[in-house]
Every structure is written in structure tokens, then in C-alpha cells.
Amino acid sequence: MALSAGERRERLEAKQTGIRMATETFNRSLQAYITAVGANVEAAVKKAAVDLVVDIAVLSPVDTGRFRSGWFPFIEAYGGSAPPPSGPNVSAEAMAEGQEQGSYEESRDERAGSFGVTITNAVRYGIYLEYGHSRQAPQGMVRLSMARHAERLREAVREAGA
């Protein structure tokens, strides 16, 4: 039975809510880490973001290389590295298209002393990959990576307080 446009929209909105919740948990863990260790906010955010996005890229399924390449503009701009896509169907053209669809934006609030980075991989089928439409990454990669990194940050906070 096919879903109506309204039902498809509702399902997509529910999936986006799941990613927002994972983002909020990660952000709280990062803020606790920065506070606990007295780190430079901007440096800590950049390091945590690069580590997170490299993990997401490594977990990203690869067919043509388009989706994984969508994470590379941010990774490369911040001095990180991740293995390039490989496989029989990977093409330079698809990888270039993916890189064109990846972006990031920094935000600062000098008065509040805050710094943030928004990372976007706008490859159109990314949300489907995140929610299990790939045998290579049936558990997704963004939410899984955010949960792993939030736990690493919480552990670092515990260690810093010890």
C-alpha cells in the first residue's frame, strides 16, 4: 500500500526530529566537556566536530561515492582526513557532485562566548540512508556517531572531574 504525500511528509518530519534530538544531546555533552576542562570554546567545538564528521563519513555507505563525499568540504576545511570512497561503482563525477552538496557554516556570539558549526550533507537521499535504506549502514551513521561522541565527551568530563 502506497503512502500518501501527507504520510510521507509526517514520516520525514519524525526522522528529522530524531536527528535534532541527537544533535541536542551531543551539544549538551560538548558544552559540559568545555566547561569541565576550561577549553577554548572555538577550538573544542572544531576538534569535536571534525572527529564527529570523520566518524560519520567512515560509516557512510558507498555506492557511487556521492554521499560520503558530501562530508569532505567540512573535513578538509578543518584539517581532518577520512578515507575516500572506494568501490566498483565509485566515480569522480559522483564524488564531485557530493562535494558540491556538502557545506558548513560557522556561527559566533561574542557576547555569550559561544561558537558553533552547522554541517550539511545535502545529497538528496541522505535521510533515507540515515534511516536504514542501505545494507552497508542499516543503523544509519549520523545519530550513531553523535551518540558515540556524546558518550566520549561525557567520559572526558568524568575524567576531568576526577
pTM: 0.81
Instruction: Decide: 26 and 56 in contact? Cβ < 8 Å.
Output: no
Q: In the chain, which residues have pLDDT < 50?
A: none
* Per-residue model confidence (pLDDT) at position 65: 96
Q: Dmax over Cα atoms in the chain, in whole Å?
A: 56
* Per-residue model confidence (pLDDT) at position 1: 67
C-alpha gyration radius of the chain:
17
Measured between alpha carbons, how far is 70 from 42 in angstroms, rounded to an integer? 23
Average pLDDT over the chain, rounded to an integer: 86
> Closest Cα to residue 142, out of 115, 123, 116?
123
Query: What type of residue is 40?
Result: N
Q: In 3-state terms, what secondary structure has residue 1?
A: coil
Residues 6+ apart with CB under 8 A from 55: 141, 145, 148, 149
* Per-residue model confidence (pLDDT) at position 161: 66
**Phi, then psi, of 114 in degrees rounded to 5:** -110, 155
Cα 95 to Cα 66, 73, 85, 121, 152, distances in angstroms: 5, 11, 8, 12, 31
